[in-house]
Amino acid sequence: MGPVLAGVLQLLALIGALALAYIPLGNYMARVYSSDKHLRVETWIYKGIGADPNTEMRWPAYLRGVLAFSAVGVFFLYLLQRIQGILPGSLGFSSVNPAQSFNTAVSFVTNTNWQSYYGEQTMGHVVQTAGLAVQNFVSAAVGIAVAVALVRGFARSRTGELGNFWADLVRGTIRILVPLSVVAAVVLVACGAVQNFSGIHEVGQFMGGHQQWNGGAVASQEAIKEIGTNGGGYFNANSAHPFENPTPFTNLFEIFLLLVIPFALTRTFGVMVGSIKQGYAILATMATIWVGFVALMMWTEFAHHGSALQIAGGAMEGKEQRIGVGASSIFAVSTTLTSTGAVDSFHSSFTGLGGGITILGMQLGEIAPGGTGSGLYGMLIMAVIAVFIAGLMVGRTPEYLGKKIGTREMKLAACYILITPALVLIFAAASMALPTPPHSMLNSGAHGFSEVLYAFTSAANNNGSAFAGLNANTDWFNTMTGLAMLLGRFLPMVFVLALAGSLAEQKPVPVTAGTLRTEKPLFTGLLVGAILIITGLTYFPALALGPLAEGLAS
């Protein structure tokens, strides 16, 4: 069997596994967020928080919950890194400096997991497990909570109530993320991922001498890192490191984990708005883009254009032998079309066009299928835009899922889609214009610019992967990517929740012969087109200077 066929079969196996999980997981998540019963452990937690989980919140209150919880998260994680030097179980690692602590704290709270530090020589056991991994869970749960609030906005009428933030946060963590992670972590250990709390480990080598590595709670963190679409590696090499991703099977399993919740949430959406077909239409949009991108990536990576790759005879630079070109291509597309940012191969050494596909994937807004929660709400915003465009064509007030898309709704949706491109382009342009920041570039020419464009695309879209040659551990990049991550995460959430509130107050519009049928393939086609055109027009000039220039030259 050739590597291309093996790559295609792995893609098909992945699709099969995702399809099997789709209905049970999607239905289960719908029950989790619709049930009025509390588990005993949850009632203890609510007592600990001092919150009544049965109080309904309007959108400002829900938003205040999100912001307060995230602000406290940033502060706590910052503090934990700053005092690492005196914490027990820190392997003798010193405290992290202020700029890097700020960047890392923001990065994990915003579900980005951009890392300007080297995992294995910076973070001890306490910061990794009780700091970073905790945010892997709760930032994912916050993302799902906001998505569920928007879904309730579509599903409810003549109320402004969107649910209870604390209940959604706790349920997402306790009933969805923790159980899935326990199972996944044990599978990973069984395949060879490490899981211990021993200190720095020194072993002999075959030719004599010694090597040192640090163990840690790697498998448990790896599991939630993928399931929560976080992506922050325990080690610098992330999922390319054999201790994080030991076998070809774990590699495919990790791709499955990072896709399963974002895809299944479309089922949850369908169930909660009372029309499973609407969920399928959104799923079809996501799947079309994802499969299309994987096909393009495999094509360019197997063709291995680029002078060094041509001499080598294959695009194996930055890729692991056990994983190979095919599965690395699937991973790279999946991690950048979700907000994960974990890598099993290094995107900077991909072909020029392959690197461009990873950047474009993030620039679509990470909605195919996107991050846990953030993918669904991002896609629903695009659906609102698409029905608006369709409404303009026929001269009719647009509506989606029985709700009118009026001036207020469109303003909020438009603000949402403008924020991220503005952040990406302004920060990238400023970095190129100033004298010092370009010194961080490893490569020169078009690829050097791509490194900077990638950095801010990744930060503002909360992805976390990188063209990792860029030295991001400078005051400029630590601060500016930190700001891009904060604004790129929370400003969109403000508009999503405001939109949810305004939709929930409406009374439903009856379906008539003139209603655009948003559950039909025609709408899926319209939505895919709208996404590609809007993103294409926004980013084309920047892409032409970076990856397109590089890809076309080779």
Partner 1 sequence: MNNSVSNTARLLWAALRALLVLTLVTGVIYPLAVTGVAQALFNNKANGSEIKADGKVVGSSLIGQQGYSLDYFQGRPANGLGTNSVNTQYKLILSGATNLSADSKVLVKQVEDAKAAVVKNNSTADYKVKPSQVPADAVTSSGSGLDPDISPSYAELQVHRVAERNHLSVSQVEKLVKDHTDGRTLGFIGEPTVNVLELNIALKSLVTKS
Contact between 88 and partner 1 by CB under 8 A: the answer reads no
Q: What angle do CA 133, 357, 342 make, to 5 degrees?
A: 15
Q: If binding is defined by CB under 8 A, does position 349 make contact with partner 1?
A: yes
Task: Name which of 149 and 379 has its Cβ closer to partner 1.
Answer: 149
- Least distance between partner 1 and beta carbon 19 (Å): 18
Question: Is 50 among the residues that bind partner 1 (CB under 8 A)?
Answer: yes
Q: How far apart are CA 549 and CA 174, in angstroms?
A: 47
Q: Which of 87, 191, 295, 414 binds partner 1 (CB under 8 A)?
A: 191
**DSSP state for residue 132 in the 8-state scheme:** I
Phi and psi (nearest 5°) for 102? -60, -50
Q: Cα–Cα distance between 63 and 237 in angstroms, integer?
A: 36
Piece in contact with partner 1 (CB under 8 A), picked from 194-202, 265-273, 411-419, 500-508: 194-202
- Strand 399-400 to 403-404 pairing: antiparallel
Nearest to 403 by CA among 143, 34, 152, 163: 152
Helix axes 248-272, 276-303, angle to 10 degrees: 150
Residue 111 contacts by C-beta under 8 Å, 6 or more apart in sequence? 139, 140, 142, 143, 228, 229, 230, 339, 371, 372, 374, 462, 489
Q: Which of residues 132-161 bind partner 1 (CB under 8 A)?
A: 133-134, 137-138
User: By rule CB under 8 A, what string of x and - marks binding of each residue 13-32 to partner 1?
Assistant: x-------------------
Which three-class secondary structure state does DSSP give residue 214?
Answer: strand
What are the helix (H) ranges across 313-373? 324-337, 352-363
Choose between 280 and 346: whose C-beta lies nearer to partner 1: 346
Q: What residues from 243 to 282 belong to the interface with partner 1 (CB under 8 A)?
A: 243, 246-249, 251-252
Contact predicate 476/437, CB 8 Å = yes
* Residue 354 Cβ vs partner 1, minimum distance, rounded to whole Å: 8
Which CB atom, from 199 or from 391, has the smaller least distance to partner 1? Answer: 199
In the complex with partner 1, the residue whose CB is nearer, 62 or 416, is 62
Q: Which residue, among 213, 234, 212, has the nearest Cα to 223 in the 3D structure?
A: 234
Task: Name the residue nearer to partner 1 (CB basis): 217 or 333.
Answer: 217
For partner 1, how many residues bind (rule: CB under 8 A)?
128
From residue 214 to residue 233, the character string flagging contacts with partner 1 as x (rule: CB under 8 A) and all else as - is xx-x-xxx--x---------
Instruction: Give CA torsion, residues 126, 130, 135, 137, to 10 deg.
Output: 130
At its nearest, how many Å lie between partner 1 and the CB of residue 310?
9
CA distances to 323, 380, 534 from 395, in Å: 52, 22, 21
Binding flag, residue 298, partner 1 (CB under 8 A): no
Interaction mask 394-413, partner 1, x per CB under 8 A: --------------------
Q: Rounded to the nearest 10 degrees, what angle do helices 59-82 and 475-505 cross at?
A: 160
CB of 350 to partner 1, least distance (A): 7
Instruction: State the minimum distance, in angstroms, from the CB of residue 314 to partner 1.
Output: 3
The burial class, CB within 10 Å (0-12 / 13-18 / 19+), for 393 is exposed
Within 449-478, the residues that bind partner 1 by CB under 8 A are 467-469
| 93 binds partner 1 per the rule CB under 8 A | yes
- Per CB under 8 A, the segment of 18-26, 185-193, 261-269, 453-461 that binds partner 1 is 185-193
Identity of the residue, 77 or 379, whose beta carbon is nearer to partner 1 in the bound complex: 77
Among residues 148 and 405, whose Cβ is nearest to partner 1?
148
**Minimal distance in Å, beta carbon 318 to partner 1?**
4
Work out how close the CB of 371 gets to partner 1 at its nearest, in angstroms, rounded to a whole number: 18
**Is residue 552 at the binding interface for partner 1, with CB under 8 A as the rule?**
no
